[in-house]
Amino acid sequence: MKDHTGREQILSFLNNPVGNGQQWVTPGLIVLAALTGMLLVAWSTLLGPGVGGDATIYLTSAQNLARGIGLGLVEPDGSFRLLPYSAPLFPLMLTPFAAVGVDLTPVARWLNIALFGGMIFLAGWVSLKTTGSRWMSSLPAWLIACSPVLLPVYSWAMAEPVTLVFGFGGLVFLLRHLDADIPHRLGWPELCGLVLGFSAAARYSAAAFLAASLLVYLLWGKVTFRKRLFTAFRIGLVGIIPMAVWMVVQLGWTDSVSARTVLTLEEMRERLMLFWPQLNSALVVWALPASFLEAPPYPGWINSFLPLVFFASLGVLTFWQCRIKRSAAVGKLLLSLWIFTGIYIGLLLLVYLTTYPPITIDNRMLSPAHTAVIWIAGLILVQISEHNASRWWKAVIWIILLGFVSWYGIRTIRIVIQNSETGLGYNARVWRQSRVIDGIKELPVNQILVTNETMAVLYLTGRVASPVAEIYFDDPAYPFTRYGDGPVGRDPAEAEFKSGKTILVVFDTLEAQFASIYGDKADKRTELFTQGLSEVFSSDHGAILKYPVGLPQQE
């Protein structure tokens, strides 16, 4: 018998690290990846999940529905406003917990933890079943678990975790039934459509999952094209039902859908010029730390081409994998993920170009596409590792994979540590320890408030406040005056403040908000905004102010 040298033992391990006959190892690695991802989210949200403006709307809407008010917000004047801009599924899922008096913040946290584990397991298990590989098929699961892009997404109390599980779950469900018989009664097409419909009911842009699934079935369903067309119709019909019901409710309440308006052609052209820089900045972070956007250790122009090079390389490798036809199932999964990614980004572009208020092109919005792309990358690397090649080549691939996952993991750990120490959104220490928030809680319950941070006040105190109009509507106010001395009719809340009915609560975020409106004049606007107002309370985090009684108006 030939003795193995140390080098041969290493190469043998890299070629087949789990040995033969150990079929339980890969499922174990997938479960371990899911548990790792769940642990990272739990660690990241030690101080609570991130809650910002949108999350406050979700949580408050669920509470209001449980109280019998409706799925939406109570306005400062006491009127009711149906859930604005957002799809309803996430707050609807929270409503039963609100109905029994459970605090929704920890509910949202643990829901995200569970959904992240579910998404990781889904990607890993489907990759295992599709590739037939052993340990390497767990790679997509580990890439998702360690993603520095997805970890922040799952650390906030938002709808994306629900969207991703239903969306990818529906797409995978359809892929598993491409060769299935078509039931004459209700069956898998309706179930598939319902799952995909739930994804769109959590986030409107997730309609791309439904569109991609229909296209995939039309391309690769095993039955005749006529039957494929009819089956796709069944899937699509059920898939649009959740959105259709919500649209009917919206039209009944508001005579509009999602409270958005359509832009003019000139405005669309302006938006088009802004889309790619935002998209490119988000895509760079998929591979490199966000700090590289501001101060890259290489020529800055490289960032402009990096996403294009990455996507082109991934596309070439996908084409190569499909050409060699090692596995039809893997090819269909890869192409399905590409189809979804293209449709999703195209849908974002359409909405961004045509509607107001604009959607934000960031990694939260792009998280479905990011999940699909790193899943594609993982599958391609799995296939490359299984390609007939020397053990040295496989060893190189193994080291590259380990390095890639480690790079993602290191970035993610840094994010997790920071989140756990400082907190996120309105659950950050700076907000939880705010003396201004404590001061608001001590005011009479019937005291009317106006503030530059309405959602923070609502989430942390439960009080409904009027917004500062020029910030809320992003509407410059010239000439600069202190709050209360602006033109009559411009801001009703400002008039009430001047009359003494309202108290102004200003947080230290004011100058940053003004910077988006006035640019380099923001500091001057901030100074004049509160100049001469009477302080009820003041701290480093902001102030509670009244209009000075008996003093002349500023000129």
Tell me if 393 is assigned to some domain: no
Residues 238 and 358 in one domain: no
Residues 176 and 147 in one domain: no
Residue 18 has pLDDT above 70, yes or no: no
Tell me if 505 is assigned to some domain: yes
Facing residues of 448 across strands?
502
Tell me if 360 is assigned to some domain: yes
Tell me, rounded to whole angstroms, the distance of Cα 321 from its chain centroid: 31
Last residue of a domain, one of 387, 419, 448: 387
- List C-alpha distances in Å: 510 to 70, 76, 120, 122: 32, 21, 40, 43
Last residue of a domain, one of 224, 257, 290: 257
For the stretch 436-483, pLDDT in tens is 999 999 999 999 999 999 999 999 999 999 999 999 988 898 899 999
Tell me if 4 is assigned to some domain: no
Answer whether 279's CB lies under 8 Å from 361's CB.
Answer: yes
CA distance 139 to 147: 12
Tell me if 394 is assigned to some domain: no
For the stretch 207-261, pLDDT in tens is 999 999 999 999 999 999 999 999 999 999 999 999 999 988 888 776 555 556 7
CA distance 337 to 371: 9
The pLDDT value given to residue 381: 87
Residues 190 and 72 in one domain: no
* Structural domain harbouring 211: 159-257
The backbone region for 449, taken as left when phi is positive above 0, alpha when psi lies in -120 to 50, beta otherwise, is beta
Residues 318 and 351 in one domain: yes
Q: CA angle, 428 as apex, 413 and 292 as ends, to 5°?
A: 45
Answer whether 43's CB lies under 8 Å from 415's CB.
Answer: no
Residues 460 and 485 in one domain: yes
CA distance 175 to 180: 10
For the stretch 295-346, pLDDT in tens is 888 898 899 999 999 999 999 999 988 887 667 899 999 999 999 999 999 9
What total number of domains does the chain contain?
4
**Which is nearest to 65 in space by CA: 87, 96, 103?**
96
Last residue of a domain, one of 234, 257, 280: 257
Average pLDDT, the chain: 90
Answer whether 412's CB lies under 8 Å from 40's CB.
Answer: yes
Tell me if 15 is assigned to some domain: no
Residues 474 and 415 in one domain: no
Residues 363 and 242 in one domain: no
Residues 151 and 164 in one domain: no
Residues 26 and 138 in one domain: yes
Residues 128 and 98 in one domain: yes
Q: How many CB atoms neighbour CB 410 within 10 A?
A: 12
Residues 316 and 426 in one domain: no
Would the CA dihedral through 209, 405, 29, 16 be positive or negative? Answer: positive
**Which is nearest to 210 in space by CA: 226, 222, 193?**
193
Question: Residue 496 has which token pair?
Answer: 């009430």
- List C-alpha distances in Å: 19 to 3, 26, 140, 403: 18, 11, 21, 22
CA distance 527 to 539: 16
Facing residues of 546 across strands?
534
CA distance 344 to 359: 14
CA distance 205 to 28: 34
Residues 49 and 109 in one domain: yes
Tell me if 14 is assigned to some domain: no
Tell me if 397 is assigned to some domain: no
